[in-house]
Amino acid sequence: MAQVTEYREFLRTLSNGSVHRRFDPYLDIDWDSPDFAIDASDPRWILPDCDPLGAHPWYQAQPDEKKIAIGLWRTANMQKVGLSFESVLIRGMMQYAMKLPNGSPEFRYCLHEMSEECNHIQMFQELVNRTGVDVPGMKAPYRATSSLWHLAAYAPVIFFIGILAGEEPIDHFQKDVIRDGAARPPALLRTMEIHIAEEARHISFAHRFLNEHVARQNKVGKGVTSVAYPLIMRWLAGAIMTPPRQFAKEFDIPRKVMREAFWQREESKAILRGYFGDVRMLAEELGLMNPAARKVWKACGIDGKPSRYRGEPHRQAHAA
C-alpha cells in the first residue's frame, strides 16, 4: 500500500511539473529572429564527434562545404525521425490511457506527456521546414510499419520498453552535443534544450512505470521481458539513429563508410553502447539481467557497465 501511495505521489509531482514548467514551440523559440535564421552554409552544422558518421575519418577528410551539407541533412533527418517516433508514442500511450480506470494518476500524467510530445512534433517539424531540406526520416521499412508499432501498447511493459528504446538514444545524443561545447546553430540548440528538459520527465515516468509493472510479472513474464528488453533496445536504436539509403546516395557516401559508421567501427560500437547505460542500470534494478539476458545484450552489441546514475555521460562511464 505504501508503494502504491508513493507511486501516486510521484505521478502527481510529474503532472505538476508539466503544468508549471512547460514549453511552447512558438512562444519559447523566436523562429523569426535573425539569430535563429537557418543558413545552409553555416559551419556550425558540421557533425560532432559524438555522431557515428561525424567521428568517421572519411567524413572528417571531406571539404567543409560537403561536411556542412551532410551535417545539415543528417540533423534535419534526425528531427524528422524524432517526430515520427513521438507520433508512435502518442498513439500507443493514448491507447493505453483510454483503458485506465477512473481516478488513475497514470491517466493524467499520460495526457500531459502526450500534450508535450505534440509540441515536440511541431517543434521538430518547424526546424525541418526551415532547413529547406526534404528529408524522409526513418529507413523505408520502418516508415512502412511504424503505423502499427503503437499496437504494442496492448502489452504495456513491452510498449514502455520501446518508449525508452526510442527516447534514450536521442536524449543521450543531444546531451553529448551540448556537452561538447562547440558552437551550434541557435535554433538547433534551443530545440535540444527544450526537448532535453521535458524528456527528463518522460524518461523518469517510463523508468518508474517499468519498476511498478515489471514487479507484478510472474517468473515466466519476467523471463520473457528480460530477453525482449535488449532486443527492443537494439532494434529501435537502429530505427532512430541509422539514416536511410537516400542519405548515402545524396552525398555519395561509400557503402563501406556507412557500414563502419553504423555500427562496425569500434568507435561507433562504443557510441551505440553508450546510449544504453541508463537502461542497463534499470535492467539491473528490475532483476532482468539474468545469464540468458546478458548473452542477448552482448549479442546485440549494447552490453557494458550500467550507469552509476541517470544521465551519466557515457564517455566518462567508459573511462571509469
Instruction: Return the higher-pLDDT residue of 82 and 317.
Output: 82
This prediction has a pTM of: 0.93
Rounded to the nearest 5°, which phi and psi values hold at 218? -80, 180
As a whole number of angstroms, the longest Cα–Cα distance in the chain is: 63
pLDDT reading at 67 higher than 70: yes
Q: Is 148 exposed, middle or buried (0-12, 13-18, 19+ CB in 10 A)?
A: exposed
Question: Which of 70, 11, 15, 317 has the alpha carbon at shortest distance from 175?
Answer: 317
Query: How many domains, the chain?
Result: 1
Rounded to the nearest 5°, which phi and psi values hold at 100? -80, 150
Tell me which residue has cell 555500427.
263
Residue 272, pLDDT score = 97
Using alpha carbons, list the distances in angstroms from residue 131 to 41, 54, 66, 127, 185.
Answer: 11, 19, 16, 6, 11
What sign results for the dihedral spanned by CA atoms 207, 211, 217, 218?
A: positive
CA–CA separation, 94 vs 173, rounded Å? 27
Q: Is 19 helix (H, G, I), strand (E, B) or coil?
A: helix
pLDDT reading at 213 higher than 90: yes
Percentage of the chain lying above the pLDDT 70 cut: 97
pLDDT tens digits along 7-55: 999 999 999 999 998 899 999 999 999 999 999 999 999 999 999 999 9
E strand or H helix that includes residue 140: helix 140-145
Amino acid present at 163: I
CA end-to-end distance (rounded Å), the chain:
39
Q: Dihedral of the CA atoms 58, 312, 199, 188 (nearest 10)? A: -40
pLDDT tens digits along 247-304: 999 999 999 999 999 999 999 999 999 999 999 999 999 999 999 999 999 999 999 9
**What CATH number should be reported for the domain holding residue 168?**
1.10.620.20
pLDDT tens digits along 87-117: 999 999 999 999 999 999 999 999 999 999 9
Cβ–Cβ under 8 Å, residues 52 and 191: no
Cis peptide before 263 (omega within 30 of 0): yes
Contacts with 303 (C-beta within 8 Å, 6 or more apart), sequence order: 273, 280, 294, 297
Domain that holds residue 125: 2-35+44-319
Q: What is the DSSP secondary structure assignment for residue 48, as one 8-state letter?
A: P
Q: Give the number of other Cβ atoms within 10 Å of residue 193's Cβ.
A: 15
